[in-house]
């Protein structure tokens, strides 16, 4: 049985779910618009440059989850998913996932974006297996902290290895689809690394190593 691993943002989606969540909060007046937008843009640029401090980013990303009352928070997420995420789920991505299912490959999404945002997206894609950065949830509320190892860069490899051991699954026949050079540690681990609409650094690496490059847009 094979394993088909997918990055989420800019891979299965035509956009970044965390960045769009931040914009949504700004437009809804939930956070200080000017300050939040500036920081959101700064972290997004660091991510693209490969200089992101994951713990600093997650503290910023998870703060609104801790500040909002859960009922309102979940209602906002429902609207956000319908308005911002459903329109950017790529039909070609759905077809790719289905192709792997027909080959009896186990699908898995692994993403640095927190599970509050990404779990319902994975459900929309029909993928039950998700490794995302986990926001801490205590006594019915989010704390604003992350629980465990964030699934970013080498953290994705650590989280995947732990999951593989739990599931008793190997990487003998495995695919990983990603758009970002931040995912090189995991791309180098699988038997079939695939660059999806890759950024310039990943494009160069994929060409040099003769990895498959595809376009899902």
CATH number at residue 67: 1.20.1440.100
State the pLDDT at residue 3: 98
Distance between CA 90 and CA 38 in Å, rounded? Answer: 28
Which of 39, 62, 87 lies at the terminal end of a domain, its last residue? 87
Would you tell me the crossing angle of helices 17-27 and 33-49 to the nearest 10 degrees? 170
7 in the same domain as 96:
yes
Which of 43, 63, 87 lies at the terminal end of a domain, its last residue? 87
**Active-site residue identified among 7, 16, 18, 199:** 7
Q: What is the band of 217 on the pLDDT scale with cuts at 50, 70, 90?
A: very high
Distance between CA 40 and CA 24 in Å, rounded? Answer: 12
Average pLDDT, the chain: 95
101 in the same domain as 83:
no
Tell me the residue range of the domain where 49 lies: 17-87
26 in the same domain as 98:
no
State the pLDDT at residue 28: 93
State the pLDDT at residue 47: 85
Which of 69, 87, 105 lies at the terminal end of a domain, its last residue? 87
Which of 132, 136, 170 lies closest to 17 in space, CA to CA? 132
CA-CA-CA-CA dihedral for 64, 67, 73, 79, to nearest 10: -40
In a 10 Å sphere around its CB, with 0-12 CB exposed, 13-18 middle and 19+ buried, how is residue 72 labelled? exposed
State the pLDDT at residue 37: 84
**Active-site residue identified among 9, 16, 179, 183:** 9
Q: Are 146 and 121 spatial neighbours (Cβ–Cβ below 8 Å)? A: no
pLDDT by residue (tens digit) across 109-148? Answer: 999 999 999 999 999 999 999 999 999 999 999 999 999 9
Which of 205, 14, 178 lies closest to 112 in space, CA to CA? 178
26 in the same domain as 119:
no
Q: Tell me the C-alpha to C-alpha distance, in Å, between residue 139 and each of 62, 76, 132, 143.
A: 16, 20, 21, 9
99 in the same domain as 35:
no
pLDDT above 70 covers a percentage of the chain that reads 100
| Stretch 196-214: mean pLDDT | 98
154 in the same domain as 128:
yes
**Count of domains for the chain:** 2
Q: What is the CATH number of the domain that holds 123?
A: 3.40.50.1000
User: Which token pair is 178?
Assistant: 């990603």
User: Which token pair is 64?
Assistant: 């609104």
| Stretch 187-193: mean pLDDT | 98
CA-CA-CA-CA dihedral for 191, 108, 79, 63, to nearest 10: -80
Q: Tell me the C-alpha to C-alpha distance, in Å, between residue 146 and each of 51, 54, 65, 138.
A: 19, 10, 11, 12
198 in the same domain as 113:
yes
102 in the same domain as 72:
no
133 in the same domain as 198:
yes
68 in the same domain as 163:
no
Which of 87, 116, 126 lies closest to 4 in space, CA to CA? 126
142 in the same domain as 40:
no
pLDDT above 90 covers a percentage of the chain that reads 88
State the pLDDT at residue 34: 86
pLDDT by residue (tens digit) across 8-66? Answer: 999 999 999 999 999 999 999 999 888 888 888 898 899 889 899 998 999 999 999 99
Q: Which secondary-structure segment (H or E) carries 122?
A: helix 115-124
98 in the same domain as 199:
yes
Q: Is 9 a catalytic residue?
A: yes
State the pLDDT at residue 216: 98
């Amino acid at each position: 049985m094979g394993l088909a691993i997918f990055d989420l943002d800019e891979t299965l989606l035509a956009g970044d779910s965390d960045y769009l969540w931040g914009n949504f909060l700004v437009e809804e007046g939930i956070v200080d618009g000017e300050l939040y937008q500036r920081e959101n843009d700064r972290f997004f640029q660091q991510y693209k440059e490969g200089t992101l401090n994951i713990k600093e980013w997650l503290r910023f990303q998870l703060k609104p989850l801790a500040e909002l009352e859960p009922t309102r928070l979940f209602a906002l997420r429902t609207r956000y998913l319908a308005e911002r995420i459903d329109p950017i789920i790529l039909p070609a991505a759905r077809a790719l996932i289905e192709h792997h299912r027909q080959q009896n490959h186990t699908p898995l999404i692994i993403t640095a974006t927190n599970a509050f945002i990404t779990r319902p997206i994975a459900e929309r894609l029909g993928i039950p297996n998700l490794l995302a950065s986990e926001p801490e949830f205590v006594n019915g509320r989010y704390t604003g902290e992350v629980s465990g190892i964030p699934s970013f860069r080498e953290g994705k490899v650590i989280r995947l290895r732990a999951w593989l051991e739990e599931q008793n699954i190997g990487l003998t026949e495995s695919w990983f689809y990603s758009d970002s050079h931040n995912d090189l540690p995991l791309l180098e681990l699988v038997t079939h690394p695939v660059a999806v609409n890759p950024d310039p650094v990943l494009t160069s690496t994929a060409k040099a190593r003769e990895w498959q490059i595809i376009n899902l847009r």
